Amino acid sequence: VAYHWEGEPVGDRRTITFAGLQREVVQLANGLKKLGVRKGTPVGIYMGMVPEIAVAMLACARLGAPHTVVFGGFSAEALSDRLHDMECEVLITQDEGWRRGARVPLKRNADDALEASPTVRHSVVLRRTGGEVAWEDGRDHWWHELVEGESDDPASCPCEPMDAEDLLYLLYTSGTTAKPKGIAHTTAGYLVGVAETHRLIFDIKPDSVYWCAADVGWVTGHSYIV
């Protein structure tokens, strides 16, 4: 098992194996290639705490496309600031999210943000709640339709060779004291660092069941969930 996931509403559960996770990552990566995502294409991710947020991050990494995850509780303005600064060409989001029993209008916020994000050409939308959302043909794409018919064979989308210092992702500071700053995390140093802390500090073994009490929108979630 790669992930035991429990969400909202109560009883919403999934168990995802490593093989299953890889299949979903490859399918999404192949779908993103249809939208022009390649090595170096900046991608924004604005989602709730669903397994697909990890799939999106890993698909970007597989393609060599640097990504920035924006916390799903942030406003449209905060999202647009980050998309504009990184000059993202694609945004991955969802119709709505759940937080403490209430629906979070992620797609509506994303639409507002895209009005001030001229570099974004495509928006990929995960159907989560099934709530009605506004739609812009040509720009917006349902996740499930984008991956439909795409191969999940890893050989169909091999991992992009990357230099040690190539950008893996940008994560922006919260902006509480000044304009948010994009912190660059490079491919080799970051991945070696988090692998070693898993091994030496947390003593994670292959059969360990481990929980990280963080949101993927923050660096702890990047490092110790994904």
Q: How confident is the model at residue 178 (pLDDT cuts 50, 70, 90)?
A: confident
Q: Which two tokens stand for residue 67?
A: 């990504």
Please name the residue ranges forming H helices in 148-209: 187-200
Residue-wise pLDDT for 124-158, tens only, equals: 999 999 999 999 999 999 999 999 999 999 999 99
**What pLDDT is attached to residue 176?**
79
**What is 99-112 written as a DSSP string?**
ETTEEE-HHHHHHH
Q: How confident is the model at residue 113 (pLDDT cuts 50, 70, 90)?
A: very high
Residue 191 has pLDDT above 90, yes or no: yes
**What pLDDT is attached to residue 193?**
95
CA distance 67 to 57: 7
Q: How confident is the model at residue 10 (pLDDT cuts 50, 70, 90)?
A: confident
Q: How confident is the model at residue 166 (pLDDT cuts 50, 70, 90)?
A: very high
Residue-wise pLDDT for 37-79, tens only, equals: 999 999 999 999 999 999 999 999 999 999 999 999 999 999 9
In order of 28, 47, 213, the CA distances from 216 in angstroms are: 19, 9, 10
Kindly state the average pLDDT of the residues 108-113. Answer: 98
The pair phi, psi for residue 225, each rounded to 5°, is: -115, -50
Q: Which two tokens stand for residue 14?
A: 């999934």
Q: How confident is the model at residue 7 (pLDDT cuts 50, 70, 90)?
A: very high
Q: Identify the sign of the CA torsion 64, 47, 150, 142.
A: negative
In order of 140, 158, 192, 210, the CA distances from 195 in angstroms are: 36, 22, 5, 14
Q: Identify the sign of the CA torsion 60, 45, 149, 35.
A: negative
CA distance 156 to 29: 10
Q: Which two tokens stand for residue 72?
A: 């799903």
First to last CA, the chain: 14
Mean confidence (pLDDT) of the chain: 96
**What pLDDT is attached to residue 175?**
80
Residue 206 has pLDDT above 90, yes or no: no
pTM of the model: 0.96
